[in-house]
Amino acid sequence: MDKPINLDNNLNSLGSKIKIEKNKYKQKLLEEDYDYIKFLNSQRSVVNREFYLIVEETKDNEKLLKQKLNDIIQEFNSISLVAEMISSEEWRELLYLILNPCTSLDIFKKDATGVTRSFKERIAPTGLKIGEKDLILGDSYISIVTLRSYPSLVNVGWLGAVANVEHTRMVMSISPMDTFEISNTLKKSISEVKSKMININDYNDQIILNNQMQDYVELVNRIDREHEKFSLLTVNFLCYGETREQLEKTKKELKATLSAYGLGGSDLMFEQERAFKMCLPIMYNELEKNFGLPMPMMTVASSFPFIFQNLQDDGDSIMLGNDALGSLLFFDLWKRTNKRNNSNAVIVGKSGSGKSTAIKKLIRGAWCRGSKIIIIDPEREYKDFCNSVGGCWIDAGTGIGKSGIINPLEVRHGADESDDDSKNTTNDLSRHFQTFRTFIKYYLQDLTAYELTKIEEILIEVYKDKGIDFDTDLSKLESKNYPIMEDLYHKVVEKLKLARAEKDARDVISSLEKISSMLKRATIGADSRLFNGISTISVDKDTDFIVLDIHSLVDSDDTILRTQFFNILSWCWNEISRDRNEPVILVCDESHLLIDPKNPDGADFLKKCTKRCRKYNSAVWTITQNFIDYTADGLERYGQVIIDNSTYLLVMAQGQREIESVQKMMNLSESEVQFLLTASKGQGLFVIGQDTRMPIQIHLREEEKLLFGNAGGR
């Protein structure tokens, strides 16, 4: 049943934000959203799909009926589908919408005629005219199309795909069948098919009949051996339109959709009146035996179309797109329930899937509604977007001027596993040593455990030379107060000279030689522009849209790219943990670039960020093309934890090679696998928590396309 949406709460929330917003760019985006939501709210054609289950019981058994309804509601709730008993007023509104499909519900609600009318008078259409294959009901043209055939093999929710054709309503009727009767009927059908096969010479027709016979035989076996129960399923589609032309267009679209899914539908000639009665919630089933389809109960159970949950967060939410049933999706990233306990997200999709568009749409909606955005951008996909909203774009891949250096030796707040600072006995300097160890393992590969320990011993002395030790109040220090890589290098050289002079053991001297040689390129070599110097990245505290661009490093060797990626990530974490009252979204695009099987510490740091960000009222979005890099030996557990720590997961189109890793990490069903393999641009599987999965279509408005620019594709 399609029901017109009411977006008044969304409009009120947006209106309040517009009044107090001082940022001109945010105000403009909020006004665009307001105008669009207002337009949607005014359109009678914009509807949500709702499903109603009518349960019949004898008049004198009201108690049993209520028990049945309560049991059904509990069963729905147990599989995370929201179900509730409708009120008397909602029941009256439902009847009105069925009888007046092309008329606004507001007319019924207001009923401002000034004349006292009975309920029947209020819901009754203005007239009825019955034709051969349609009928005119008030201002609506109506025609009933019935389901006449279905494929032998069906997936769960096999009717769901055809339940969202515009200007149609699907009505299902289910009645139990006598097992003995259906078994005999099937056996007769087998005999009839065998007779036909004898008289048909066409090879293709022979194959069709043989397949039909095999289906019948299989059903008989299931009845005789497995005691399979059967029901009579009648599926009617009520098609409607304001004109006969519109009605015919709807019927054509419906039949094409049915055919695409292996289903067959036909008009009910001269039976439109009785067929229409079957579409009313009055348990009329006179045509059931003529047009009902005998089906095993498992097939009937799989036919229910309400297999997807709807997402309609009220108030301050983003209009994301449509679900599989055509209903609008309104998403509030910061909403908290027992199943939505953080705002982390993982977005996965192959090149050309529309992944960039989806991310930018989410970023746009979150930013103009008050979230601070920090993006690590390896592909220069966000520069145009950033400039369009007056954000701060930083070239973090060249090390030139302001857009240059993040000093690896500047102590920043580290990400650890604790959610309670009172349990955290290590200070920031101690945690920084852990972070720097990961940095060094990225930059200076093939170091031994002894060499790593030696660097840390020397580093302690370097900090002491600057008056910094484990008891220092680091909150009083500025960037200029910290040592730089050059200081570390010179201290190593000093230690090397001393070791040679004192004729230390050969392995000690060899280790110091190796370390000094490796550190030299970070000090006076090509890499000094990135790593040697006081931090020059300067971001105003009021800046809330930051893009850290490392595109110039993409073609560099993996060592430099991964090292700087991690260096930036640690800087970003410091920004997140600076203010617990400010919601921050850290977007790690192409996050697989950080993943190195030789150095799992980087993946571990990202994992800890996703775990701790909730404490700081923030979120981490990790974005990659596929999960393959997360499933490498030694990294799978980190990748799985990142997913498990993310309430939201958006998986867009996947290739045959990538789908295996996705299926492994998400336990996809066969239908979900096929959906992702065949998904068009902008389509994806949106997962919320552990048990909510919905196919969606991302919707992009023209003004959003202009805002996002061309980078990354659309």
| Residue-wise pLDDT tens digits, 617-675 | 899 999 988 777 676 666 677 777 888 889 999 999 998 888 888 887 788 877 788 88
Statement: residue 363 has pLDDT above 60 = yes
Residue with token string 């194959």: 207
State percent of the chain over pLDDT 90. Answer: 25
Instruction: Give the mean pLDDT of the chain.
Output: 83
pLDDT-derived band at 424 (thresholds 50, 70, 90) equals: very low
3-state DSSP assignment of residue 384: helix
Mean pLDDT, residues 323-330: 79
pLDDT-derived band at 418 (thresholds 50, 70, 90) equals: low
pTM over 0.85: no
Mean pLDDT, residues 288-311: 72
Burial tier of 550 (Cβ tally within 10 Å: 0-12, 13-18, 19+): buried
Statement: residue 1 has pLDDT above 70 = no
Burial tier of 199 (Cβ tally within 10 Å: 0-12, 13-18, 19+): exposed
pLDDT-derived band at 404 (thresholds 50, 70, 90) equals: low
Residues 404 and 530: their CA atoms lie apart, in Å, by: 6
pLDDT value at residue 414:
59
Better-predicted residue by pLDDT, 47 or 664: 664
Are 443 and 520 a contacting pair, CB within 8 Å? no
pLDDT value at residue 661:
81
3-state DSSP assignment of residue 146: strand
Statement: residue 148 has pLDDT above 90 = no
Q: How far is CA 241 from the centre of its chain?
A: 34
Q: How far is CA 145 from the centre of its chain?
A: 34
Beta bridge partners of 135: 130, 142
Are 654 and 350 a contacting pair, CB within 8 Å? yes
Give the CA distances from residue 495 to residues 188, 290, 436, 455, 714, in Å, rounded to whole numbers and listed in that order.
96, 95, 20, 11, 55
- CB atoms near residue 309 (< 10 Å): 17
pLDDT value at residue 307:
59
Q: Can you spell out the DSSP letters for 207-248?
A: HHHHHHHHHHHHHHHHHHHH---EEEEEEEEEEEESSHHHHH
Mean pLDDT, residues 124-146: 88
Q: Can you spell out the DSSP letters for 677-692?
A: HH--TTEEEEEETTTE
pLDDT digits (tens, 9 = 90+) for 487-520: 999 999 999 999 888 888 888 899 999 999 989 9
Mean pLDDT, residues 96-101: 84
Statement: residue 594 has pLDDT above 80 = no
Mean pLDDT, residues 255-274: 86
Give the CA angle between residues 508, 513, 518 to the nearest 5°. Answer: 130
Most confident segment among 157-166, 380-389, 526-535: 380-389
Q: Which long-range contacts (CB under 8 A, 24 or more apart) does 524-527 make?
A: 524/486, 527/443, 527/560
State percent of the chain over pLDDT 70. Answer: 89
Mean pLDDT, residues 17-42: 92
pLDDT-derived band at 59 (thresholds 50, 70, 90) equals: low
Among the residue ranges 231-245, 296-310, 456-470, the one predicted with the least confidence is: 296-310
Question: Amino acid identity, residue 368?
Answer: C
Residue with token string 């419906």: 254
Statement: residue 570 has pLDDT above 50 = yes
Alpha helices in 419-557 (DSSP H): 428-443, 449-465, 485-501, 506-523, 528-531
pLDDT digits (tens, 9 = 90+) for 349-362: 988 898 988 999 99
Residues 360 and 412: their CA atoms lie apart, in Å, by: 29
Q: Which of 635, 649, 568, 633 is nearest to 604 (CA)?
A: 635
Alpha helices in 524-655 (DSSP H): 528-531, 558-576, 601-612, 636-644
Residues 383 and 362: their CA atoms lie apart, in Å, by: 16
Statement: residue 431 has pLDDT above 90 = no
Q: Which of 449, 442, 601 is nearest to 518 (CA)?
A: 442
Return the structure tokens found at 671: 């239908």
Residues 153 and 150: their CA atoms lie apart, in Å, by: 9
Residues 184 and 223: their CA atoms lie apart, in Å, by: 11
Statement: residue 714 has pLDDT above 50 = no
690: left (phi over 0), alpha (psi -120 to 50) or beta: alpha
Burial tier of 187 (Cβ tally within 10 Å: 0-12, 13-18, 19+): middle
pLDDT value at residue 556:
79
Q: Can you spell out the DSSP letters for 21-45?
A: ---HHHHHHHHHHHHHHHHHHH-TT
Residue with token string 């009926």: 65
Return the structure tokens found at 10: 């969304």
Better-predicted residue by pLDDT, 27 or 557: 27
Residues 547 and 554: their CA atoms lie apart, in Å, by: 16
